[in-house]
Amino acid sequence: MTPSAQRQWVVAERPVGRPLKDSDFQLADAPVIAPRDGEVLVQTQVLSFDPAQKSWMENAANYRAPVQIGGVMPGSGGGVVVASAHPDFAAGERVVGDLGWREYPTIAGGHLQRVPSGIAVEAALSVLWGTGRTAYLALMKVGKPVAGDTLVISGAAGATGSLVGQIGKLAGCRVIGIAGGPEKCAWLTDELGFDAAIDYRSEKVRARLRELCPGGVDIFFDNVGGEILNDVLARLAVGSRVVICGGISRYNFDPRSPEMPEGPRNYFNVVFTGATIQGFLMPHYERDFPEADSRLVGWLREGRIKARPDVLQGFESAPVALRRLFEGKNRGKQLLQLDH
Ligand SMILES: NC(=O)c1ccc[n+]([C@@H]2O[C@H](COP(=O)([O-])OP(=O)(O)OC[C@H]3O[C@@H](n4cnc5c(N)ncnc54)[C@H](OP(=O)(O)O)[C@@H]3O)[C@@H](O)[C@H]2O)c1
């Protein structure tokens, strides 16, 4: 039976220029709202976490509606339809979408998508939708891999990076991941099939790149920015492509403050190599979503890519789950299962 009340997390403070804190979030009670025309009531089963959620709280992202203080914390997730007033959805169907941190969101059916049959909601949130579309489209449309290319990925043991590496292997690349800690590096090479990994916390990235990429780096897929970007720019191959997907090393700085790190010193190597540096933002590639979805679903069903989510338990741990991304605690996609 659907309860009449639910819990939801709301935004209490904007974490501009600093790491996230417990007091940035507040747990509140709210009524469960019956769906009106075109709406669907969902029971949230899994929440999915992205570093960009911090910038949404700061209202620093220009591609989404502003988040209000006291408003529901935005975020994607998956669950089961409880009641539907939308012709395309029926009770019992499994869906994903921008559910927000709520136990029973009521949302427009047009904002939901069905989970493909035979695929767990956790796997769908790990390697399809936002993460999968980003990894596939940023690599294929901006990185433009060619068999034999050397592909280097920062943030390689995270959700996006670990998938980019797997797709890069399918495209015939030699794949080198940069990640924090020996356990994450071993996971990349032993379980996900990366050719090599560099532990940026204990190794000198630039020296290791010299050893591992004697012919230079053909594609750099950057999730981190800062010193790592600087080190890889020094090793670019002629005609290489640098994909700027993220810059998590910058996300705890106020962009207007003098503490914000300067841009990369080695950028001038772009001139000597004729390299291209291009930014990627997933919503700009909407027309390519069907291609990404069909390739990813196919590879997942064939077992050619692996979904290895990192799953926490309990709705009350949502802020902890988001903070893990900035503390490097997650391996693969950070998810949270609700115990209903
Ligand atoms: N452009 C787009 O459309 C788009 C879409 C989705 C995601 N993104 C971006 O892609 C990147 C990865 O996102 P994700 O969802 O896949 O997250 P994720 O990689 O699963 O999690 C973040 C990882 O970043 C690393 N990290 C955290 N702070 C760091 C720091 N100061 N320096 C270096 N590494 C740090 C940690 O790994 P280590 O332990 O290895 O440090 C952590 O596990 C983010 O920058 C995100 O904003 C962009």
CA distances from 49 to 2, 23, 129, 272 (A): 26, 18, 13, 39
Tell me, yes or no, whether 276 lies in a domain: yes
Mean pLDDT (whole number) for 287-297: 97
Q: How far apart, in whole angstroms, are the C-alpha atoms of residue 227 and residue 239?
A: 22
Mean pLDDT (whole number) for 263-289: 96
Mean pLDDT (whole number) for 100-126: 96
| pLDDT of 305 above 90 | yes
Claim to verify: residue 277 and residue 151 sit in the same structural domain: yes
For 135-160, write each residue's pLDDT tens digit: 999 999 999 999 999 999 999 999 99
Tell me, yes or no, whether 222 lies in a domain: yes
Angle in degrees, 0-180, between the axes of helices 226-233 and 205-212, rounded to the nearest 10: 40
Please report, rounded to a whole number, the percentage of residues in the chain having pLDDT higher than 70: 100
Identify the three-state secondary structure at position 226: helix
Host H or E run for residue 29: strand 25-31
Claim to verify: residue 95 and residue 193 sit in the same structural domain: no
Domain boundary pick from 284, 299, 321? 284
Residues with CB under 6 A from ligand 1: 50-52, 130, 134, 155, 157-161, 179-180, 184, 223-224, 245-249, 280-282, 325-326, 328, 330, 334
Q: Who wins on pLDDT, 261 or 217?
A: 217
Claim to verify: residue 276 and residue 141 sit in the same structural domain: yes
Claim to verify: residue 159 and residue 253 sit in the same structural domain: yes
Mean pLDDT (whole number) for 110-120: 95
Domain residue limits at 198:
130-284
- The residue whose CA is least distant from atom 10 of ligand 1 is 246
Tell me, yes or no, whether 243 lies in a domain: yes
pLDDT value at residue 246: 97
Domain count, the chain: 2
Neighbours of 270 (CB within 10 A): 16
For 49-107, write each residue's pLDDT tens digit: 999 999 999 998 778 888 999 999 999 999 999 999 999 999 999 999 999 999 999 99
| pLDDT of 317 above 90 | yes
For 165-186, write each residue's pLDDT tens digit: 999 999 999 999 999 999 999 9
Instruction: Say how many Å lie between the CA of residue 158 and the centre of ligand 1.
Output: 6
Claim to verify: residue 109 and residue 180 sit in the same structural domain: no
Write the CATH number for 111. 3.90.180.10
Confidence of residue 163 (pLDDT cuts 50, 70, 90): very high
- The residue whose CA is least distant from atom 24 of ligand 1 is 155
Tell me, yes or no, whether 220 lies in a domain: yes
Claim to verify: residue 277 and residue 202 sit in the same structural domain: yes
Mean pLDDT (whole number) for 263-291: 97
pLDDT value at residue 264: 94
Tell me, yes or no, whether 297 lies in a domain: no
Tell me, yes or no, whether 295 lies in a domain: no
Tell me, yes or no, whether 147 lies in a domain: yes
Side chain identity at 112, as an amino acid letter?
L
Host H or E run for residue 276: strand 276-279
Write the CATH number for 162. 3.40.50.720
Q: How far apart, in whole angstroms, are the C-alpha atoms of residue 111 and residue 106?
A: 11
pLDDT value at residue 276: 98
What's the count of helices (H) and strands (E) in the chain, helices before strands?
10, 15
**Residue 1: which residues within 8 A CB-CB, separation 6 or more?**
none
Could you tell me which residues are beta bridge partners of residue 43? 80
What does pLDDT average to over the chain? 96
132 half-sphere exposure, CB direction, 13 A CA radius: 26
Instruction: Say how many Å lie between the CA of residue 154 and the centre of ligand 1.
Output: 8
Angle in degrees, 0-180, between the axes of helices 129-137 and 159-170, rounded to the nearest 10: 50
pLDDT value at residue 248: 97
Tell me, yes or no, whether 292 lies in a domain: no
For 229-256, write each residue's pLDDT tens digit: 999 999 999 999 999 999 999 999 998 8
Claim to verify: residue 114 and residue 170 sit in the same structural domain: no
